[in-house]
Amino acid sequence: MSDKKLWGGRFEGGLSQAARDFSYTLESDMKLLDFDLQVNQVQAQLLHEAGILSKNENEILQKTLIELGEDFKKDAASLMSDDEDIHSCVERLVTARCGELGKKLHTGKSRNDQVITDVRFYVKQESAALQDGIKMLIQRLMYVAETHQDLIFPGFTHFQVAQPVLFAHHCLAYVEMLKRDLKRFQAVYDAADVCPLGAAAMAGNNYGLDRDRARDLLNFASLTANSMDAVSDRDFIYDALSAANLCMLHLSRLAEELVLWSSDLLGFIRLGDDYSTGSSIMPQKKNPDIAELIRGKSARVSANLTALSQMLKALPLTYNRDLQEDKPLLFHSVDTLKSSLLCMEGMLRSMDINEPAIVAVMDKGYSLATELADYLVKKGLPFRDCHHICGQIVRHAIAEKKALQDLSLADLQGFCAQIEDDVFDILTFESALASKAVYGGTAPKQVAFQLKKLKEEFL
């Protein structure tokens, strides 16, 4: 039915049911409803200002579009039919309510420029909302860091104990990742903030519609400069999927750490019951399923970016129906990231830190070995020689089943005569932390400084 009203004049028959099922997108397009109504309102206003609609006709269409928005909120299902997409659904309903006048609404525009205007609206809105979600998670990480600001934590490389750090410093590393995500989503917003309305199908419109006026009414920052590019450009969607992919990768890395830290093998943290599940057969289990799902869902967001890349790589100008498939990828990525941010913030809020378990691990892995090597450097030895000497000392300590700080001075001097009593001043975790006093280091004063800067920015 609806396909004949939009483009049926050239055809004797309609699409088969299989083709309809394959190509119609009304259900997923519902996310664009409010934007579609706004774009139609602006289009009606432009047609009036161009002399194509009378003042009364414009007022009737404006009133109808507003009423449609209200009716959709009350009972959307009753308004939907076998429409091809949300744009044809809105046009059908306007025509049903306004008669012949409704048929004028599509004058001077195509679904090509209308769809991409709607999607740009959507991306602007959601990139702003995602920035809010990222800021919320940043604030939670800052709270965790400040609450445990003095907790000494094993820093890892290759998931082997490497050097002592402050737990707060570890948390703030994720804040840095998320700050970059904020910048990326602001760039996404800026890339989407360009108005394509007036490009029509691909060559521009014949009615002299005021595109500057469209830009202002729709609150876009600028206008597309080429009508062919306007209807075929999906770069801003690629930018959105790319930013979502990177942010999900960051969340996945944090989720992986929560999974590891909550394991009985480490026991560094306990996640709340509201973000954990049990086993259907093992009654003792408490599984970090939400963290695992974030980790798993990141793969699907990554796949969406790959899918869009492949979709765009061989398309000639201008619009091709392949581009219909961009929106499900976009909607899925946005929805997944929004819910992942919300769940990650909730998990961190529910998390308890098991400080005794962390303290118990600190003596494992000989994380003070680098401090000993740096001590010898300050005694005048070349670092490479110091590295070799300390490796021998670590091997000896392993054999003796002792921590480095528990070796005697005689033991240490057996490997290097330059070692003196003052070595024990540096073989402490507190000394190791304090010595990393460079900007961005894990020294307590530096971490406190970073937290202060972040508070000024985000609180």
Q: What are phi and psi of 382, to 5 degrees?
A: -65, 140
- CA gap 192, 195 in Å, rounded: 8
Decide which of 360, 378, 401 is a domain's last residue: 360
* 99 and 135 belong to one structural domain: no
Count Cβ atoms below 10 Å from residue 102 Cβ, excluding itself: 19
Residue position matching structure tokens 């010898």: 376
Same-domain check for residues 356 and 368? no
> What pLDDT score does 4 carry?
46
Specify the pLDDT at position 44.
98
How many residues appear in the chain? 459
Catalytic residue among 54, 263, 279, 309: 279
For residue 46, give every residue at least 6 positions away whose Cβ sits within 8 Å of its Cβ, in sequence order, or none: 108, 198, 209, 210, 213, 214
Provide the Cα torsion 133, 136, 140, 145; round to 10°.
Answer: 100
Token pair, residue 11, equals 């055809």
Residues 321 and 271 in one domain: yes
Please indicate, yes or no, if residue 212 is contained in any of the structural domains: no
- 197 contact partners, CB below 8 Å, separation of at least 6: 39, 42, 43, 109, 113, 114, 117, 211, 214, 218
Task: Count the domains in the chain.
Answer: 3
Q: What DSSP state is assigned to residue 165?
A: E
CA distance 430 to 425: 10
Do 323 and 391 belong to one domain?
Answer: no
SS3 411: helix
| CATH number of the domain where residue 381 is located | 1.10.40.30
Examine the pLDDT at 436 and tell me if it is beyond 90.
Answer: yes
Considering the domain boundaries, does residue 169 fall inside one?
yes
Q: Residue 261: pLDDT above 50?
A: yes
Is residue 178 located within the same domain as residue 267?
yes
Q: Are residues 132 and 198 in the same domain?
A: yes
The catalytic residue among 16, 78, 158, 408 is 158
Residues 8 and 39 in one domain: yes
Q: Are residues 157 and 293 in the same domain?
A: yes
Using pLDDT thresholds of 50, 70 and 90, give the confidence band for residue 3.
very low
451 in a domain, yes or no?
Answer: yes
| Neighbour-count burial of 350, counting CB atoms closer than 10 A to its CB (0-12 exposed, 13-18 middle, 19+ buried) | middle
Check if the beta carbon of residue 228 is closer than 8 Å to that of residue 203. yes
Q: Which of 107, 130, 165 is the last residue of a domain?
A: 107
Q: In 10 A of CB 355, how many CB atoms?
A: 15
pLDDT at 7: 56
Separation CA 369–CA 421 (nearest Å)? 17
**Does 154 map to a domain?**
yes
- Domain membership of residue 380 as a residue range: 363-458
Q: How far is CA 211 from CA 47, 50, 167, 204, 389, in A?
A: 11, 11, 54, 10, 73
How many angstroms separate the Cα of 117 from the Cα of each of 15, 32, 315?
Answer: 27, 10, 20
Residue 398 lies in a domain: yes
72-78: long-range pairs with CB below 8 Å, 24+: 72/33, 76/30, 76/33
The arithmetic mean of pLDDT across residues 196-223, rounded, is 97
Q: Which range among 34-43, 75-84, 210-219, 448-457 shows the weakest confidence by mean pLDDT?
A: 75-84
Cα separation, 23 vs 20, whole angstroms: 5
* pTM assigned to the model: 0.94
My answer on whether 440 and 353 are in the same domain is no
Q: 20: which residues sit within 8 A by CB, 6+ positions away?
A: 82
- Report the distance separating Cα 316 and Cα 312, nearest Å: 9
Distance CA 264, CA 411 (A): 36
Q: Could you tell me if residue 368 is inside a domain?
A: yes
Evaluate if residue 184 carries a pLDDT over 90. yes
Q: What per-residue confidence (pLDDT) applies to 1?
A: 38
Q: 336 in helix, strand or coil?
A: helix
Catalytic-residue membership of 431: no
Q: Per-residue confidence at 432, pLDDT binned at 50, 70, 90?
A: very high
- Residues 95 and 199 both lie in one domain: no
Q: What would the pLDDT profile of 363-420 be if each residue is shown by its tens digit?
A: 889 999 999 999 999 999 999 999 999 999 999 999 999 999 999 999 999 999 999 9
241-245-251 Cα angle (round to 5): 145
Q: How far apart are CA 392 and CA 415, in angstroms?
A: 8
In a domain, 311, yes or no: yes
279 is catalytic: yes
pLDDT for 42 equals: 98
Residues 248 and 319 in one domain: yes
In a domain, 114, yes or no: no
**Residue 458 in this model has a pLDDT that exceeds 70:** yes
What pLDDT, in 10s, does the model give residues 96-144?
999 999 999 999 999 999 999 999 999 999 999 999 999 999 999 999 9
pLDDT at 283: 86
What pLDDT, in 10s, does the model give residues 55-90? 999 999 999 999 999 999 999 999 998 899 999 999
Q: What are phi and psi of 13, to 5 degrees?
A: -130, 170
Which of 107, 140, 171 marks a domain boundary?
A: 107
One domain, residues 179 and 59 = no
Q: Comparing C-alpha atoms, which of 349, 319, 298 is closest to residue 147?
A: 349
CATH number of the domain that residue 321 is part of: 1.20.200.10
